[in-house]
């Protein structure tokens, strides 16, 4: 009788999660800078997400500018944002861990890896501490620094630069050692900016050494620009496929180093990664998040037979895939009549494929990750502006079609007061 009573109490208190899919709420550091500046506010939102069924939170501790939200030996402290100030003695992440664990929530830190500047504000480490680390972009036939591209907010660094890599590894190790009780690290923006970067001389030398190819006409033998209907467009050069393989291997090799650094510092910590789910065009950003067992060269003309070696799904404990699609089901794609929805993320194209839906996208990701890591369907709330019902359907579909749910991010839920639709979408998936 006592054993039965204990079992009943565990179930009724929510302490026993039999096969429950994890649900992650993301806290972006810039969008939530003010509201996460006090312990009371953090506790309020932790209780809120817990009450509607979330099991995990992801806390942004390293911004796209390369600034961090804790005292660091390596990175500058993000002590101000949009006229609001943060005392460096206030340890936001420590509060999240302590208070989140009290509520039974798992707490993960997210870090923007190869992002180093916000071009709209001329701010970040590519502007101040390390301008030499920024990406060189081949834009409309001209080589230029990414910090000069004021129409692109994301001031990315060159992932192939060994100094950049070591700097990021130092920060990852520091973060894990500082927060020994956190549950996981989520890597974000572990990628190149887009297909037009990085075309620095350093990248050229590394590629030539890797491939054994002497690039006579750089960068046009890899990527060149031409005109079509009065607009400049890029085309793939004769060496592009090998270049795509090299870029993906750069990211894979960094992921190997990152895993070792993190697990050596704390073997219990979960290693996660957050990418876009549009794999057929994700080579634009130099990332192959598939399993090594998946061979894209059998399906896509941009992949070499060796490209599969760059797959790194096996390195991950958590994989969050961005299902950033306003079509929820495959049937929605059939009914779309040419209405594609918002597609503003790096690497997206304008095809009407089933994988540009939450249902179809999740199926594609699960197929090419080969079951080696749980797939967490991730939604970008702002894409559903003005359409709560589509957002509710997307939540339900993501949970049904994948191994979990991630919402990016809480600020969009707060600003729209969409707590009710979020809770209903989770309930409807059960």
Q: Using the 8-state DSSP alphabet, how is residue 112 labeled?
A: E
Query: Quick one: tokens of 24?
Result: 């992650």
Q: With CA atoms as reference, report the closest residue to 80 among 149, 11, 121, 33.
A: 33
- Orientation angle between helical segments 240-265 and 201-211, nearest 10 degrees: 100
Matching residue, tokens 């932790």? 46
Q: Using the 8-state DSSP alphabet, how is residue 143 labeled?
A: E
Q: What angle do CA 411, 417, 422 make, to 5 degrees?
A: 85
Q: Residue 321 belongs to what H/E stretch?
A: strand 318-322
Q: How far apart are CA 135 and CA 157, in angstroms?
A: 5
Q: How far apart are CA 10 and CA 363, in angstroms?
A: 34
CB-based contacts of 46, cutoff 8 Å, min separation 6 = 57, 96, 99, 100, 103, 105
CB-CB neighbours of 317 under 10 Å: 15
Q: How far apart are CA 378 and CA 358, in angstroms?
A: 9
- CA neighbours within 13 Å on the CB side: how many for 9? 6
Query: What CATH class is the domain 18-117+156-194+239-428?
Result: alpha beta
pLDDT tens-place string over residues 185-219: 999 999 999 999 999 999 999 999 999 999 999 99
Residues in the chain: 430
Q: What angle do CA 223, 224, 225 make, to 5 degrees?
A: 135
The tens-digit pLDDT sequence of the chain (430 residues) is: 333 333 333 333 333 334 799 999 999 999 999 999 999 999 999 999 999 999 999 999 999 999 999 999 999 999 999 999 999 999 999 999 999 999 999 999 999 999 999 999 999 999 999 999 999 999 999 999 999 999 999 999 999 999 999 999 999 999 999 999 999 999 999 999 999 999 999 999 999 999 999 999 999 999 999 999 999 999 999 999 999 999 999 999 999 999 999 999 999 999 999 999 999 999 999 999 999 999 999 999 999 999 999 999 999 999 999 999 999 998 988 777 555 555 455 555 555 477 789 999 999 999 999 999 999 999 999 999 999 999 999 999 999 999 999 999 999 999 999 999 999 999 999 9
Q: What angle do CA 364, 370, 375 make, to 5 degrees?
A: 65
Query: Quick one: tokens of 231?
Result: 């607009």
CB-based contacts of 138, cutoff 8 Å, min separation 6 = 196, 197, 199, 219, 223, 225, 234
Q: How far apart are CA 354 and CA 78, in angstroms?
A: 41
* Domain ranges, ordered by start, for the chain: 18-117+156-194+239-428
Q: How far apart are CA 320 and CA 397, in angstroms?
A: 15
CB-based contacts of 89, cutoff 8 Å, min separation 6 = none
Matching residue, tokens 């390596």? 74
């Amino acid at each position: 009788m006592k054993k039965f009573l204990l079992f009943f109490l565990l179930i009724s208190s929510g302490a026993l999660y039999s096969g429950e899919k994890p649900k992650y709420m993301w806290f972006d550091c810039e969008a939530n800078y003010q509201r996460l500046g006090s312990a009371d506010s953090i506790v309020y939102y932790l209780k809120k997400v817990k009450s509607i069924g979330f099991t995990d939170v992801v806390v942004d501790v390293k911004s796209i500018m390369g600034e961090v939200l804790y005292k660091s030996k390596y990175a500058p402290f993000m002590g101000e944002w949009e006229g609001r100030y943060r005392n460096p003695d206030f340890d936001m992440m420590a509060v999240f861990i302590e208070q989140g664990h009290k509520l039974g929530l798992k707490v993960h830190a997210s870090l923007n890896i190869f992002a180093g500047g916000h071009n709209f504000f001329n701010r970040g480490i590519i502007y101040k501490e390390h301008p030499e680390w920024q990406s060189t972009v081949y834009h409309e036939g001209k080589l230029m620094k990414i910090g000069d591209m004021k129409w692109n907010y994301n001031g990315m660094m060159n992932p192939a630069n060994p100094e950049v890599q070591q700097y990021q590894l130092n920060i990852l190790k520091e973060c894990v050692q500082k927060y020994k009780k956190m549950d996981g690290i989520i890597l974000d923006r572990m990628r190149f900016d887009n297909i037009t970067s990085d075309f620095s001389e350093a990248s050229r030398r590394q590629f030539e050494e890797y491939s054994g190819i002497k690039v006579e006409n750089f960068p046009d033998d890899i990527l060149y620009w031409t005109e079509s209907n009065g607009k400049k467009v890029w085309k793939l050069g004769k060496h592009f496929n090998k270049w795509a393989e090299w870029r993906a291997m750069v990211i894979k090799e960094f992921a190997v180093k990152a895993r070792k650094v993190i697990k050596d510092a704390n073997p219990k910590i979960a290693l996660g990664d957050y990418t876009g789910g549009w794999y057929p065009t994700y080579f634009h950003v130099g990332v192959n998040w598939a399993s090594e067992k998946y061979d894209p060269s059998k399906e896509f003309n941009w992949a070499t037979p060796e490209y599969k070696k760059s797959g790194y799904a096996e390195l991950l404990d958590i994989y969050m895939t961005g299902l950033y699609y306003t079509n929820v089901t495959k049937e929605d794609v059939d009914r779309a009549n040419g209405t594609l929805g918002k597609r503003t993320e790096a690497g997206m194209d304008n095809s009407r494929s089933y994988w540009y839906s939450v249902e179809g996208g999740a199926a594609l990701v699960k197929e090419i990750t080969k079951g080696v890591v749980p797939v967490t369907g991730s939604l970008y709330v702002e894409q559903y502006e003005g359409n709560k019902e589509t957002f509710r359907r997307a939540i339900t579909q993501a949970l049904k079609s994948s191994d979990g749910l991630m919402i990016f991010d809480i600020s969009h839920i707060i600003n729209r007061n969409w707590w009710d639709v979020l809770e209903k979408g989770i309930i409807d998936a059960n």
